[in-house]
Structure formats: structure tokens, C-alpha cells
Amino acid sequence: MIALFSDTHELHAPAFEFFRGERVPCFETPARAAFVKKSLQQAGHALRQPHVDSRAVLAQIHSARYLAFLENAWSDWLALAPGNAGLQPFPSVWPVRTLRSDREPANFVARLGLYSMDNGSPLSAGTWAAAKAGADAAASAAALLGEGARAVFCCSRPPGHHAGADFMGGYCFLNNAAVAAQALRNSGRARVAVLDVDYHHGNGTQSIFYDRSDVLFVSLHGDPHTEYPFYLGHADETGEGAGLGFNLNLPLAAGSSAGAWFDALEQGCLRISQFGAEALVVSLGLDTFEDDPISTFALKLADFRRLGQKLAALGLPTVFVLEGGYAAEALGTNAVEVLDGFDQGA
């Protein structure tokens, strides 16, 4: 399978984050993509550079003022004070209920809060470049499907599925899965399905396509009653307006077995088949692994090959986009199992 990889991801390398109120080393690190790249090479998958500029598609997915903020955030942070180059900016105030979000403040930290859903997505000097490279990979993958590729894997980071039209969060800045889906629509695919198998609900992807009937969003994830992102991902969220009936959430209790997870996957795949999708985008979160440090599902190595085989059975041109997965050393092996299972089942 073709795999898209850019060393630019290494430029996003914040030193720490806040987890359950404590300052801790980042879970989302450059080592994640490095382990996946190594496993891809060992398994014989062809690595290519992204070749499509995603700016036009990004403008269809994200608001103009959010993109401008994100692209200039680090330079704005440096301009704020002489010592900021050695510091990481975090938001400290958010425009929650009754506060206005239509006016962009001049204060940098206030703007950071305006565009953040949490304080767990640290910026660094290369965040924009790394995120943009991931979006370029997603747009490139869609283009390769248009040229006849059966499937393409985007080995990119930071992840993207928590990023909404005008906000970042959950380590995500630009929504790569949404970029891939929109690029596929732009190329003439009438109906595109996005399947999110990350442990955490892809709230950003859901919100971007929630009122659309041309992109079906299906997600199986930890129940938001107890699991991040908490405020989206419930089963009663089925779309609105033209999109009513085109959003399917399959939340599972923390600690659910692999059997329960695959039962949910079966429901999701059935809905994709009923939808009549012409292409599939998979938000490939691998934090469902039994040894993941911040998740509680129990999938084993063999389960990831089974996942790939199940996805291949849908018979659709497919873009895989790397999302979560924080057992870094196992991440590459798990990713390759999915891709090899897909190739085996195709």
C-alpha cells in the first residue's frame, strides 16, 4: 500500500502537556510517526512525499480566521514577550455559555482560548508546518485514489479528528480526515463515508459534516459520559437539517471487550454499505490497543489485522489517516497489521 510521510511532522514537538491537572511529558510525540515509518519500511510499504497543497480544501473545512490564527500563532506568541521562545502557550479563558465568540480579541491568550476546546493541545514553533503537512498528505491521498490507487495511508501527525471548523483540541489542529473527505467530494465522488475507529470520539469531524448528506460520519468510541471529549459522541446525535440520519455514533462503555467493539464495527460497516458510499476515509486511531496508556479498550495485535480485513470487505477506495495511539513502540506494528489485513482482504 502507498504510504505518505513527511519529516515535517517532527517540527511539532512540544515538551509537555497537562493531563488530569498535572504537567506531564507529551503523549503525542514525534516518536509515534517514527515508529510507524520504521514498521512500514520493514513491511515493504512504499513511502512517498505528499504532493498536493491542501490550502484550497482547508478553506472549505476550516474558517478563514481560525486558519489565519493557527498559521501565525507562534510568531504572535513570540511578539508578545522576549522570553516566549522557551515557553509553551496555553489558554486560560474560554468563551463558554453567554460569552461572545463572534468577536476576536486582540489579546493572544484570549484568542488562544477562543480557538481551543481544551488546554491539552500545546503549540510549538513548528505546529502549523507539521499540521499543514498532514493536511497535504490527506489531499494527496485523495488525489492518488483518483489516479486509481486502491488505498493510501497517511502516516502523519499531529492527529486531526478533534479539530473543528474553528477550533483545536485533543492534540488536533487541522482535520485531516475531513480534508480527505472533502477532496474526494471535490473530485466527483458523490457520497463519501468517514469511519472513525479511534478510542475518542471524532467530535471535530462530526461537527464539520453534521448538516450534510453527502458525507456520512460513523464513529465507534468510548462513551462520552466518562471518556474524552465528553461533550459530543452520544448515540442520539444523528445529524441535523439535510444531514439528519447521516451521523451514526456507536459509544461503548470503558473497558469494553474486543467482541463488543467488533459488533459495533459491524453496525458501522452495514450503515456505510446502506449509504452507498463511493469512497471511504478511515480515521485510524490505534489507541484501542490493550496497552494504550490513556484508553481502556482491549484490542490485541491480531484484532488490528481483522479490522483491516473487515474494512477491505466494504470494497471501497480507502484513505487511512493516522489519528491517536499512544503506546508508541507498538503503534507501528499495529498500523501495519491494519494495512496488511486490508491488502490481504482486498
By CB atoms closer than 10 A (0-12, 13-18, 19+), residue 198 is: buried
Q: pLDDT tens digits, the chain, 346 residues: what are they?
A: 999 999 999 999 999 998 888 899 999 999 999 999 999 999 999 899 999 999 999 999 999 999 999 999 999 999 999 899 999 999 999 999 999 999 999 999 999 999 999 998 999 999 999 999 999 999 999 999 999 999 999 999 999 999 999 999 999 999 999 999 999 999 999 999 999 999 999 999 999 999 999 999 999 999 999 999 999 999 999 999 999 999 999 999 999 999 999 999 999 999 999 999 999 999 999 999 999 999 999 999 999 999 999 999 999 999 999 999 999 999 999 999 999 999 998 7
Query: Catalytic pick from 12, 45, 161, 162?
Result: 162
The residue behind cell 503537512 is 133
pTM of the model: 0.98
Give bridge partners of residue 55 from the DSSP assignment. Answer: none
Distance CA 255, CA 288 (A): 10
162 in catalytic set: yes
Transcribe 196-254 into DSSP letters: E-SSS--HHHHHHHTT-SSEEEEEEEE-TTTSTT-SS--TT----GGGTT-EEEEEE-T
| CATH classification number, 2-63+126-345, choose in 3.30.300.20, 3.40.800.20, 1.10.620.20, 3.40.228.10 | 3.40.800.20
> 3-class SS at 272?
helix
Distance CA 263, CA 242 (A): 28
Distance CA 134, CA 282 (A): 15
Distance CA 264, CA 310 (A): 12
